[in-house]
Amino acid sequence: MLAHAPRNFPPGHPQVPPPRIGVLLVNLGTPDATDYWSMRRYLKEFLSDPRVIEENRLKWWLILNLIILTVRPSRKGRDYDKIWNRALNESPLKTITRAQAVKLGALLKSDNRLIVDWAMRYGNPSIASRLETMQHAGCDRILVVPLYPQYAAATTATVADKVFDALKAMRWQPAVRIAPAWFDDPVYIDALAVSLKTSLKKLKFKPDVILASFHGMPEEYLHKGDPYHCQCAKTARLLRQKLKLKDGQLLMTFQSRFGTAEWLKPYTDATVKGLAERGVKNIAVITPGFTADCLETLEEIAMENAAIFKEAGGKNFAAIPCLNDSAAGLKVIRTVVERELGGWR
């Protein structure tokens, strides 16, 4: 009734647009630039999230502000500089996430009620800004898709936290859904398998071992009930089965550990080094937990771990690209989106 009777509104009352449905893709985040202060702002937002670092808040505040944010911005800035998209002056993660949203919008354009957009949990564009834009465009229902195939409190849950923080500031709140993880979805497993087989065919060598490297987390989070480790293990198992590989041919590992706590094992860097020291000469690494190439895949895996492998005696190292905005990658995201829009369209 409200949307069809604007003539009864008081003078100056904003017109209400026709109802639409929003789809918001959300990835982890990115700094705005690689300089010290840009990196510092990004790292402070990221590492201040209590879901990312579950530490005594006073103790962590002192460590973060007096030590980490003094030293780490310069070092991480140099790492980002190695992979920076200079043509667009942005990180590859931002470039790819934007492309995913644009291409998904094109695939769903037959439904003119849909608006597809993208945001970053940390950095820009922010979740709050994109939700506000969608609401002003008439979206009374919004599907938020955290771009993490496996659920973790430090990733998926913190996206939900930020979404609901934004809703708190809205007088007229849209209905919101958070898409669940798709770690065992057949479309996702098929896409990983096809991507891996296609990439391996392009190599000039045959890997003796393939690593499925996932982002790590402190072991303590697993013991607190986080399902992430189990979901990663199922993804790796299903991928191994799809490719008809033995356990020793495709190994699950965890990367990107931070701090002094014990993290999920086995560690990717230690495994890479150990394989080389045992005489393995050829390996390939796929990163199934990432929907888009980023610092952790392009610099940490393709550069750092490649160097570790070769310094320890290995010969050939291949970093397999993420699904990114490929046709297979978009098929996975579209499958998730269309399933979760059920009842709204």
Chain-centre distance for alpha carbon 205: 30
Does this model's pTM top 0.75?
A: yes
Do residue 191 and residue 165 come from a single domain? no
Do residue 135 and residue 192 come from a single domain? no
Token duo for residue 263: 């993290």
Domain containing 160 equals: 17-181+329-340
Do residue 228 and residue 266 come from a single domain? yes
**How does DSSP assign 116-129, residue by residue?**
EEEEEEEESSBHHH
| Inside any domain, residue 315 | yes
| Inside any domain, residue 345 | no
Do residue 215 and residue 280 come from a single domain? yes
Q: At what angle do helices 127-136 and 158-168 cross, to 10 degrees?
A: 50
Do residue 36 and residue 172 come from a single domain? yes
Give the DSSP H/E element, type plus range, for residue 283: strand 282-286
Q: Per-residue b/e over 310-340, b at no fewer than 16 CB within 10 Å? A: eeeebebbbbbbbbbbbebbbbbbbbbbeeb
| Inside any domain, residue 36 | yes
CB-based burial of residue 165 (10 Å sphere; 0-12 exposed, 13-18 middle, 19+ buried)? exposed
Do residue 289 and residue 165 come from a single domain? no
| Inside any domain, residue 152 | yes
Residue 87 and residue 335: Cα distance in Å, rounded? 31
Do residue 126 and residue 261 come from a single domain? no
| Inside any domain, residue 2 | no
What is the pLDDT tens value at each position of the chain, 345 positions in all?
Answer: 334 444 455 555 556 678 999 999 999 999 999 999 999 999 999 999 999 999 999 999 999 999 999 999 999 999 999 999 999 999 999 999 999 999 999 999 998 999 999 999 999 999 999 999 999 999 999 999 999 999 999 999 999 999 999 999 999 999 999 999 999 999 999 999 999 999 999 999 999 999 999 999 999 999 999 999 999 999 999 999 999 999 899 999 999 998 888 999 999 999 999 999 999 999 999 999 999 999 999 999 999 999 999 999 999 999 999 999 999 999 999 999 999 999 898
Name the residue among 259, 252, 312, 260 with its Cα closest to residue 286: 252
CA 175 vs CA 16, 161, 163: distances in Å: 16, 15, 11
What is the per-residue pLDDT for 11? Answer: 59
Name the residue among 103, 99, 42, 31 with its Cα closest to residue 69: 42
Do residue 161 and residue 225 come from a single domain? no
CA 97 vs CA 23, 78, 103, 120, 134: distances in Å: 13, 22, 10, 9, 18
Token duo for residue 172: 């007229």
Residue 75: other Cβ atoms inside 10 A:
9
| Inside any domain, residue 5 | no
| Residues forming beta bridges with residue 214, ordered by sequence position | 254
What is the per-residue pLDDT for 12? Answer: 59
Do residue 163 and residue 25 come from a single domain? yes
Query: Total structural domains in the chain?
Result: 2
What is the per-residue pLDDT for 345? Answer: 80
CATH label of the domain that carries residue 290:
3.40.50.1400
| One-letter identity of residue 182 | W
Token duo for residue 145: 């898709």
Residue 158 and residue 146: Cα distance in Å, rounded? 10
Inter-residue contact 127 to 121 (CB < 8 Å): yes
Give the DSSP H/E element, type plus range, for residue 151: none
Q: Are strands 250-255 and 20-30 parallel, antiparallel or unpaired?
A: unpaired
What is the per-residue pLDDT for 8? Answer: 54
| Inside any domain, residue 218 | yes
Name the residue among 135, 139, 145 with its Cα closest to residue 112: 139
Strand ordering across the sheet containing 282-286: 250-255, 209-215, 282-286, 316-319
Do residue 174 and residue 191 come from a single domain? no
| One-letter identity of residue 196 | L
Residue 304 and residue 285: Cα distance in Å, rounded? 12
| Inside any domain, residue 334 | yes
What is the per-residue pLDDT for 213? Answer: 98
Do residue 103 and residue 191 come from a single domain? no
Do residue 253 and residue 275 come from a single domain? yes
